[in-house]
A and B are shown apart, each in its own frame.
Chain A
Amino acid sequence: MNSNTRAASSTFWKRTPAFVPSTVEIVYSGSIENAPARAAPSAELSAAKQQLPPSPLTPPLDKEAAQPTTESPVPATLSTKSTSDQSSAVAVVPGDAHSLKFYSLLTSANVDIEELRKQSWKGIPASQRSTAWCLLMGYFPLNASRRQQTIERKRREYSDWVRQTFSRGEASLDRTLWHQICIDVPRTTPGSPLFQSPRIQRSLERVLYCWAVRHPASGYVQGINDLLTPFYYVFLSPFLASPTNDLQHQVDALDESTMGTVEADSFWCLTKLLDGIHDNYTHAQPGIRRQLVKMKDLVSRIDAPLASHLDSEGVEFIQFAFRWINCLLMREVSLTNTIRMWDTYLAEPEGFSSFHIYVCAAFLLKWSKQLQQLDFQDILLLLQKPPTESWTAKDVELLLSEAYMYKCLYHNSPNHYSAAPAAAPAAAGHKR
């Protein structure tokens, strides 16, 4: 967790009595989520939320209340038992129309996915994010009556895989793959106490290994470990309810079934995410190369002077933007800001594979003026470590808005993305 997250956290952990609408049964909505310095809904929401002790025995609101307790003989850390299932945890606070809107959306018998996307674009209230993400990812069925059954089955499926995969000990694992995962997991979000928890690290290893062996075309590629962290963060949020300094103890105190569901849900959401961008990680990484071409083309249309300066200095997009695409800008913005970005990505059609390029272009353009004064070396040094430490959700939202504007202007332009020279009228209108 970065410094601004830590700084902001003290205000988010205050226990504040929650308003509970008479029609709504709210019991649990602790959160480790905190959008720093954000005046918008989610900060207020976090502060105002009811914070019950993080007892694993306290069930969250569950619209499919009576869940079957499936006894599954899985390894110690995994179970499909869902007595403390976060899947349908939904909470609301007073006077927050956005949050209320989400509540009604997420609890309807058939989730209106278009409306959910529309609402999510502007950011999802932290307390409702985990359910919203699972629905937007296509992991949870939209139909509430089928949901619990499907989720149970998927969780069981994952835990069966884990059992099969790891039952014969480490010696039976693919050595190269396992080694790579084991050296990367400890350096995943190294500043965050959550991801330094040994229990979480063992869990990350299992998810990454299981995903990799089921996707041999790519296998595990460095950076995929980064992409897993937002899911853990969001799915664990409802179960971790006090300041971050004893986060490890809280994680250790979580019961097996909770950890099991968080792990399984993270696995499935990672799978869904990577399904859409798999060719970013296959041999020679064609997806990234293609997007780099698109990004360069886009930047040259939006900001020709910058593009020509980069060109004249010998700066190639692959030198700085490769990582932006490979890790979805997670190395450039904080985890909390990434989570906010993903709300919008999930709301966008092809958010991670297509909209992301507009975001990358907008991100580069943030420093256009400055970059045009710099030489090769200083350009790369700036772009390798862009000054985003103080970025808040507001900065991210501005970035997303700019990206959206570029998308509207260029996405349907017939010449956009084509290798052919730009048609003059298409580009001319956008110069500022």
Chain B
Amino acid sequence: MAASNDEYDFLFKIVLIGDSGVGKSNLLSRFTRNEFNLESKSTIGVEFATRSIQVDSKTIKAQIWDTAGQERYRAITSAYYRGAVGALLVYDIAKHPTYENVTRWLKELRDHADSNIIIMLVGNKSDLRHLRAVPTDEAKQFASENGLFFIETSALDSSNVEQSFQQILTEIYLLVSNKAIESSQDNVQPGTGAQIIVSSADDYTKSAGGCC
């Protein structure tokens, strides 16, 4: 009945989380529409957008849920973590408190998201060099210790936005492909790394995602 106008090989659900005002909505609009709005309104509840990219000659469609940053909305937005295979956890490199809150956001994900979700820590607003409050190395190390991917972006000047989504989608794809290969070979391959599945709630153990 429904007319789907696009074909894809994989559909991955990604959530954008992080404190209010760190630029989640602009990362999303930059990636999906190549737009940036200095005066965008605050996100209420959740907002949704999609974009397809090519990885390894496969079409991967990202279904991205942008969430409200304010704490009051967490009860509502955590419902959207269900089924997400990736999360971009965003902070503002010019606002240290938003980085300090990353730990709380990680707890949110542990409590509400699938245990094998891939998480990328994103230091946004990298254009604000003169206002930097969070050193890159510190965040990189934190990410490494916590098994998160890491990147710094600027939704304003576009730097690394494409790469951040590309990378997380590619990682998810690789995990899913691994899983598919394993199933087809019908044997156990120890040590191949993390596994991820899109729709089942099977309880795979996630190994460290590594860090870039």
Contacts and interface: CB of A to CB of B under 8 A. Distances in A.
Interface of A: 180, 183-184, 186-188, 190-191, 218-219, 221-223, 225-226, 281, 283-285, 309, 312-313, 318-319, 322-323, 326-327, 331, 372-378, 380-381, 384
Given A319-B48, A384-B47, A190 B41 contact: yes
B41 A331 contact: yes
Contact of A323 (B1, B2, B44): B44
B42 A222 contact: yes
B72 A373 contact: no
B70 A180 contact: yes
A176 to B, nearest CB: 8
Interface string B36-58: 00011111111111100000000
B3 A222 contact: no
B4 interface: yes
Contact of B72 (A221, A309, A380): A221
A121 B140 CA distance: 59
A283 B75 contact: yes
Nearest to A377: B50
B68 interface: yes
- Nearest 10 interchain pairs by C-beta: A375-B2, A190-B39, A322-B45, A284-B75, A323-B44, A183-B21, A222-B42, A380-B48, A221-B72, A222-B70
Contacts of A309: 1
Contacts, number: 83
A295 to B, nearest CB: 14
A24 to B, nearest CB: 42
B3 A373 contact: yes
B170 interface: no
Given A223-B44, A326-B44, A326-B45, 6 more contacts: A184-B20, A190-B41, A218-B72, A322-B44, A374-B3, A381-B48
B204 interface: no
B36 to A, nearest CB: 13
B201 interface: no
B40 A318 contact: no
B76 A375 contact: no
A184 B20 CA distance: 9
The winner among B4, B5, B20, B42 for most chain A CB atoms within 10 A is B42
Contacts of B212: none
Contact of B45 (A226, A312, A318): A318
Contacts of A225: 42
A281 B2 contact: no
A319 B41 contact: no
- Interface size on B, as a range, is 20 to 34
Contacts of B4: 375, 377
Contacts of A373: 1-3
B76 A187 contact: no
B72 A327 contact: no
Contacts of A188: 41
A283 B70 CA distance: 12
Interface in B60-87: 63, 68, 70, 72-73, 75-76, 79
Contacts of A180: 20, 70
A313 B2 CA distance: 8
Contacts of B20: 180, 183-184, 222
A254 to B, nearest CB: 24
A187 B42 contact: yes
Nearest to A188: B41
Contacts of A331: 41, 44
Contacts of A323: 44-45
Contacts of A281: 72
Contacts of B42: 184, 187, 222-223, 225
Contacts of B1: 309, 312, 372-373
A313 B42 CA distance: 28
A284 B72 CA distance: 7
A327 B3 CA distance: 31
Given A180-B70, A374-B2, A285 B76 contact: yes
B15 to A, nearest CB: 13
A187 B44 contact: no
A69 to B, nearest CB: 40
A253 B20 CA distance: 34
A165 to B, nearest CB: 21
Contacts of A283: 72, 75
A226 B50 CA distance: 27
7 contacts: A183-B21, A187-B40, A188-B41, A190-B39, A191-B39, A331-B44, A374-B2
